[in-house]
A and B are shown apart, each in its own frame.
Chain A
Amino acid sequence: KAGVTQTPRYLIKTRGQQVTLSCSPISGHRSVSWYQQTPGQGLQFLFEYFSETQRNKGNFPGRFSGRQFSNSRSEMNVSTLELGDSALYLCASSLATGPDTQYFGPGTRLTVL
């Protein structure tokens, strides 16, 4: 069974630009969550999607948004990029039928110059 895939793996952008990251969950998984990992703040929850609906959102500004498609694939978008948005963005998927393990993808390393 294929794992969680994320594209692109690396991205370099400049301040003010916007970026879209993509995540394909494990086949059959309906819940997709996004996390931001930085050396200073650690791993922080961004949002969770289930059946195309945002089920929960972390404490991030409105520049961070996401969506989920009918095939459970998810995208997150960051508009008006700031230097502080440089981070590893991790996507995780789970069955969401109970307290199931979340399986993480390899991440997208975003660098904002």
Chain B
Amino acid sequence: ELKVEQNPLFLSMQEGKNYTIYCNYSTTSDRLYWYRQDPGKSLESLFVLLSNGAVKQEGRLMASLDTKARLSTLHITAAVHDLSATYFCAVGQGSQGNLIFGKGTKLSVKP
């Protein structure tokens, strides 16, 4: 059974600091996703990572994938308040539309 673990589950950061969210998964998969969710809202797609060593960057966020270690990271550079949200990683299992989600990391960026 595929399990996805994120840590930390809660993260309080100061603006301008850097931090990394980790996502470990238990069995082989061919795709990993990062999503953002604001309170009371739906999920917004951030990144899709498909191969070992894949790295994608958008603004202050950078995601990477190590399929051998079954590990993905989401690195936050020089955090700003607008990044406050819950971030989920999700791993594909089996067919296209079946994603197994981590518990999410609630990020709070304080001035």
Considering the chains assembled together, what is the distance between the CA atoms of A63 and B43 in angstroms?
A: 26
The count of chain A contact residues (Cβ–Cβ below 8 Å) is 28
Residue among B30, B94, B97, B99 facing the most chain A CB atoms (10 A cut-off):
B97
- Interface on chain A toward B: helix, strand, loop, or mixed SS? strand
Contact count A vs B, C-beta below 8 Å: 70
Q: Is the CB of A48 within 8 A of B45?
A: no
Indicate with 1 or 0, residue by residue over B42-72, a CB within 8 angstroms of chain A CB atoms: 1111001010000000000000000000000
Q: Is the CB of B42 within 8 A of A31?
A: no
A102 and B95 in contact, given A43-B101, A90-B42, A107-B42 (Cβ under 8 angstroms): no
Residue among A33, A58, A98, A99 facing the most chain B CB atoms (10 A cut-off):
A99
Q: For residues 52 through 111 of chain B, which have their beta carbon under 8 Å from a beta carbon of chain A?
A: 88, 90, 92, 94-104
Nearest CB of A to B69, in Å:
20
Is A32 among interface residues, defined by CB-CB distance under 8 A? yes
Chain B residues with CB under 8 A of A106: 41-42
Q: For residues 61 through 102 of chain A, which have their beta carbon under 8 Å from a beta carbon of chain B?
A: 90, 92, 94, 96, 98-102
